[in-house]
Structure 1
Amino acid sequence: MDALHTPFDTRSAFQQHLASCIGAAQHRLCLFDPDFSSWELGSSNMDAALRRFLHGGGQLQLLAHQGQALERHAPRLLRLLQSYQHRVALRRTHPALRQLSDSFCLADQSHLVRRFHSDHMRGEYSVNDAAEVKIYQDRFITIWLDSGEGLLLNQAEI
Structure 2
Amino acid sequence: MDRQIPREVFDTRAGFQAQLEACLSRSRVSLAMFDPDFGWWELGSTGNDALLRAFLRHGGRLQLVAHGNARLERDAPRFLRILHDYSHLVECRLTNASIRHLTDSFCIGDEHHLVRRFHSDHFRGEAIFQSPSSTQSYLERYQSIWAETRPGLQAGVTGL
Q: Which of 2, 5, 14 is 1:3 aligned to? A: 5
Aligned to 2:108: 106
Superposed displacement of residue 48, structure 1:
0.2
Query: How far apart are the structure 2 equivalents of 1:64 and 1:11?
Result: 19
2:25 counterpart letter in structure 1? G
- The two structures have a TM-score, normalised by structure 1, of 0.95
Work out whether residues 83 and 155 of structure 2, in 8 Å CA contact, stay in contact via their aligned partners in 1.
Answer: no
Work out whether residues 8 and 128 of structure 2, in 8 Å CA contact, stay in contact via their aligned partners in 1.
Answer: yes
Aligned to 2:61: 59
TM-aligned CA distance change 1:144 to 1:154, over 3 Å: same
Aligned to 2:70: 68
Query: How far apart are the structure 2 equivalents of 1:153 and 1:26?
Result: 23
Superposed displacement of residue 157, structure 1:
6.4
Superposed displacement of residue 155, structure 1:
3.9
Work out whether residues 71 and 152 of structure 1, in 8 Å CA contact, stay in contact via their aligned partners in 2.
Answer: no
Query: How far apart are the structure 2 equivalents of 1:95 and 1:146?
Result: 9
Work out whether residues 4 and 128 of structure 1, in 8 Å CA contact, stay in contact via their aligned partners in 2.
Answer: no
- How many residue pairs are counted as aligned between the two chains? 158
Query: How far apart are the structure 1 equivalents of 2:96 and 2:76?
Result: 23
Query: How far apart are the structure 1 equivalents of 2:128 and 2:135?
Result: 8
TM-aligned CA distance change 1:82 to 1:151, over 3 Å: closer
Superposed displacement of residue 34, structure 1:
0.1
Aligned to 1:80: 82
- The two structures have a TM-score, normalised by structure 2, of 0.93
Work out whether residues 66 and 95 of structure 2, in 8 Å CA contact, stay in contact via their aligned partners in 1.
Answer: yes
2:96 counterpart letter in structure 1? H
Q: Deviation per CA, 1:101-153, whole angstroms, max 9, x where unpaired?
A: 00000000211000000000000001133222000000000000111113469
More helix by share: 1
Q: Which of 123, 134, 137 is 1:135 aligned to? A: 137
Q: Which runs of structure 2 are paired with 1:27-66 in the superposition (5 Å)? A: 27-66=29-68
2:143 counterpart letter in structure 1? I
Gaps of 5+ in 2: none
Identity of aligned residues (%): 46
Work out whether residues 80 and 155 of structure 2, in 8 Å CA contact, stay in contact via their aligned partners in 1.
Answer: no
Secondary structure in 2 aligned to 1:104? strand
